[in-house]
Amino acid sequence: MLNIQAALRQGVRLLEEAAVTAPRLTAEVLLCHALGREKAYLYAHPEEELSETAWVHYGRYLHERLSGKPTQYITGKQEFYGRVFHVTPDVLIPRPETEHVVERAIALRPRRAVDVGCGSGAIAVTLQLETGAEVWATDISEAALRVAAANARRLGARVWLAACDLVGALRPQAVDLVVCNPPYVPRNGSGALQREVVEFEPHVALFGGESGFEIYERLVEGAARVLQPGGWLVMELGYQSETRVRELLGGWLDVEVQADLAGLPRVISARRAP
């Protein structure tokens, strides 16, 4: 049986040979998951032999990652805005870039908000815990809503959940903030995505119709109905989508775009006319 140091070395080698991104970090995460330990334990006990159970688990996790399964779906967790969220293949893996959406939403100090297409609940839960606002979360996928509900309970967030298409379950002028990371990949744009994304993440959360703007179009229309006068709409932007989304927001006030750390347009916000 291998010790921790040798197991880590072997995992790194296998991942490197398969050209997996961040092979050492991935091997560390998978070995920690197999052992039920934190990363520091690996380096504090390099000579400790793996139990048969840990070795079997580690081997299975490596096999899954080598087959393309994202690490987050193997471990069942992803950090977002300083909190650990449970994730399954029923929900999109929360990305660091989406934290910019949350930052903009928090800055608007909402009293009543809705996270549209909530997935894991990362935006809704974070917004509720950071602002204390009344937060609703909607999704067309009941499986995704179950994941969001579990995350809200575990993290102590008071989030109301509704199964519906976009904002269909909300009454007119129900909220003062609509926030969303919409599906924005064009239907024929899968070739530009990583294999892990196309083969494992839910397509309903990825693809925004033939052009990639269908959800934006419907969301802007729906937000105008459910927002109170002067309320805000905050959305994540897809690659090269800023111009078209700005056009969709014609007639809205105070349209602003924030860039991510790479300098790319990432968040667009606009205010409904009073």
- Could you read off the pLDDT of 39-75 as tens digits, one per residue? 999 999 999 999 999 999 999 999 999 999 999 999 9
Say if residue 60 is in the same domain as residue 94. no
In a domain, residue 203? The reply is yes
Say if residue 60 is in the same domain as residue 150. no
Say if residue 219 is in the same domain as residue 265. yes
Residue range(s) defining the domain that contains residue 59? 4-67
**CATH code at 213?**
3.40.50.150
Type of residue at 189: G
Say if residue 156 is in the same domain as residue 97. yes
Say if residue 58 is in the same domain as residue 97. no
Q: What is the pLDDT of residue 194?
A: 80
Q: What is the pLDDT of residue 174?
A: 97
Say if residue 30 is in the same domain as residue 105. no
Say if residue 105 is in the same domain as residue 226. yes
Residues 112 and 66 sit within 8 Å (Cβ to Cβ): no
Q: What is the pLDDT of residue 189?
A: 66
**Rounded distance between C-alpha atoms, residue 190 and residue 184, angstroms:** 11
Number of folded domains that form the chain: 2
The parts of the chain modelled with pLDDT lower than 50 are none
User: Exposure pattern of 134-154 as b/e (b: 16+ CB <10 Å)?
Assistant: bbbbbbebeebbebbeebbee
Torsion angle of the four alpha carbons 103, 145, 116, 222, in this order, in degrees rounded to the nearest 10? -160
User: Helices (DSSP H) in the chain: which residue ranges?
Assistant: 4-17, 23-35, 39-44, 52-66, 71-75, 99-107, 122-131, 142-155, 195-200, 214-226, 242-248
What is the model's pTM? 0.94
Q: What is the pLDDT of residue 191?
A: 60
Say if residue 189 is in the same domain as residue 105. yes
Say if residue 146 is in the same domain as residue 41. no
Residues 15 and 30 sit within 8 Å (Cβ to Cβ): no
Please list the residues that pair with 84 across neighbouring strands: 79
**Rounded distance between C-alpha atoms, residue 230 and residue 219, angstroms:** 17
Q: What is the pLDDT of residue 186?
A: 86
